[in-house]
Chain A
Amino acid sequence: AQKITQTQPGMFVQEKEAVTLDCTYDTSDQSYGLFWYKQPSSGEMIFLIYQGSYDEQNATEGRYSLNFQKARKSANLVISASQLGDSAMYFCAMREGRVWGSNYKLTFGKGTLLTVNP
């Protein structure tokens, strides 16, 4: 079974509008972390936002916010006021394992290609 599922291979949004990118995850750990990374066409991986499983508030970073619904095991990324430069591939990822342990790794979803139209 996939640990991270991104059901939207591609999404389109009009410039200045908000868009939600979906991510669901599967884990039996109580302590875990969720990440979103952006990969523009140039290829680098850019960290956007992080949500810990024990964080009560939804994470926000500028125009990015993470809609964390623990019971539904979803961690959707919301981008407000989309810009042309937001056009990129977006990956959801999960870190399982104990925070203070030495055994952890990030598992990535397949990604969603976002296109922002002018």
Chain B
Amino acid sequence: DAGVIQSPRHEVTEMGQEVTLRCKPISGHDYLFWYRQTMMRGLELLIYFNNNVPIDDSGMPEDRFSAKMPNASFSTLKIQPSEPRDSAVYFCASSPMPTSGGAWTGELFFGEGSRLTVL
């Protein structure tokens, strides 16, 4: 089975440019999460969706960041304009909804991450 697919794996851009990160969650998963990982701040939740609807975006750093989920199989995280402090690894993760009688844990299935460098 295909896991969570993220693209690009690596992105190097210059300050001020627009950056778009993409994510395809595991088919059938109802939750999608965007995390950012830096040495200083660790893993931070930016935003998450349930059934394509944003539930909590309190972790989005500022208006330069935006995320969309137009359908169940695709999400984007956009940074415009980008700044050097946005340099990080951005992870997308998905998770299924609990089912009656199932052994649901809430485990997140992570993509391989997108490493962003803003010069």
A-B complex is real: yes
Which A residues have a C-beta under 8 Å from some C-beta of B? Answer: 33, 35, 37, 43-45, 47, 50, 52, 91, 95, 99-100, 102-111
Contact B42 A99 (CB under 8 A): no
> Which single member of A33, A103, A108 contacts B43 (CB below 8 Å)?
A108
B37-60 to A contact mask, C-beta < 8 Å, 1/0: 000001101001010000110000
Interchain residue pairs with CB less than 8 A apart (29): A33-B106, A35-B107, A43-B89, A43-B112, A43-B113, A43-B115, A44-B113, A45-B91, A45-B93, A45-B110, A47-B109, A52-B105, A91-B43, A95-B105, A95-B106, A99-B104, A99-B106, A100-B98, A102-B50, A103-B55, A103-B56, A104-B106, A105-B48, A106-B33, A106-B106, A106-B108, A108-B42, A109-B42, A111-B42
Which B residues have a C-beta under 8 Å from some C-beta of A? Answer: 33, 35, 42-43, 45, 48, 50, 55-56, 89, 91, 93, 98, 104-110, 112-113, 115
A52 to B33, CA, bound (A): 21
A99's nearest neighbour on chain B, judged by CB, is B98
Q: Is the interface of B mostly helix, strand, loop or mixed?
A: strand
Contact B110 A44 (CB under 8 A): yes
3 tightest CB-CB pairs across the interface, nearest first? A45-B110, A108-B43, A95-B106
A111 proximity list for chain B (CB < 8 A): 42
A71 to B41, CA, bound (A): 28
A90 to nearest B CB, angstroms? Answer: 12
Contact B45 A106 (CB under 8 A): yes
